[in-house]
Amino acid sequence: MTSGKQLLSIFVAMGFALSAQAANDWNTGGGEQDEAMHLKGSLEDGLDVYEVCSACHYPEGWGTQDGTFPQLAGQHKEVLIKQLADIRAGNRDNPTMYPFALPESIGDAQALADVVAYIEKLPMNPDNGKGEWAEGTTEFAQGKKLYADNCVECHAENGEGKKDKYYPMIMGQHYKYMLRQFEWIRDGKRRNANPDMVKQIQGFSDKDMKMVINYVSRIPVPKDLVAPSKDWKNPDFD
């Protein structure tokens, strides 16, 4: 007969196993995510789908500097598909976006492939929202070091991300949006966060967080990825 102490040990072991599995399953793909990833996106159909998205992210895909809505323009399609699929599957909490992302609103896996193909081709905002510390300040330098020590492996040298691993491009993103997401990930409030990132940044103070995101917000975006001016308008919406 199994004793109470032995049962407790079994349950504890099971708990550790499940925790480890959850940590490894943050991005196992499957289902709609894999289906959309292997479909060829149509820019023309993607524009039709994006009209729903443009209500919040604007025709240019630039979001808002106050961080309410992120910049989507230029983001890797792999990242966009994963995040959309996670929201649709209830793996990422976004009550504002959820009803607009549902199949009833924008369509099936093909619609995901279409809209992300369109978004990925949009030029980025040359004037993204930035943090308060300019280059040359102590806080900028400390943020740069924090980035080099903690973020480069996943988000790459210039914040370009790694699309094959679903790590987003963060250069050119709005400071206030990144700050909110960083805080949620650090504090365990974003359920589809990479557990490796949660572990990496769990010791960051609020000041550390602000300094590293300030640095990221000021990484120059290559000219071939941005619109010719901050006044550029998406001609597809004329």
Spell out the domain ranges in the chain.
31-126, 138-225
Cβ(27)–Cβ(166) below 8 Å: yes
Structural fold of domain 138-225: Cytochrome Bc1 Complex; Chain D, domain 2 (1.10.760)
How large a percentage of the chain has pLDDT more than 90? Answer: 87
CA 160 – CA 151 distance, rounded (Å): 11
Do residues 72 and 172 make contact, with C-beta atoms less than 8 angstroms apart?
Answer: no
Question: Looking at residue 25, what is its pLDDT?
Answer: 54
Record: fold of 31-126: Cytochrome Bc1 Complex; Chain D, domain 2 (1.10.760)
Residue 81: CB partners within 8 Å, gap ≥ 6? Answer: 33, 36, 37, 112, 113, 116
Task: Assess whether pLDDT exceeds 60 at residue 171.
Answer: yes
* 96 contacts: CB under 8 Å, gap ≥ 6: 56
- Per-residue pLDDT tens for 48-86? 999 999 999 999 999 999 999 999 999 999 999 999 999
138-225 matches 31-126 in CATH topology:
yes
Strand-pairing partners, residue 226, are: 124
106, two tokens: 């924008």
Alpha carbon of residue 205 to chain centroid = 21
Helix ranges, 102-202 (H): 103-106, 109-121, 138-150, 152-155, 175-186, 195-201
Q: What b/e sequence results for 53-76 when a residue is b if at least 16 CB atoms lie within 10 Å of its CB, and e otherwise?
A: bbeebbbbbbbbbebebbbbbbbb
**Global pTM?**
0.88
Q: 27 falls in which pLDDT band (50, 70, 90)?
A: confident
At position 235, the amino acid (one-letter code) is P
Number of other residues whose CB lies within 10 A of the CB of residue 150:
17
Residue 229 DSSP class: S
125: left (phi over 0), alpha (psi -120 to 50) or beta: beta
Cα dihedral value 19, 22, 26, 29, nearest 10: 160
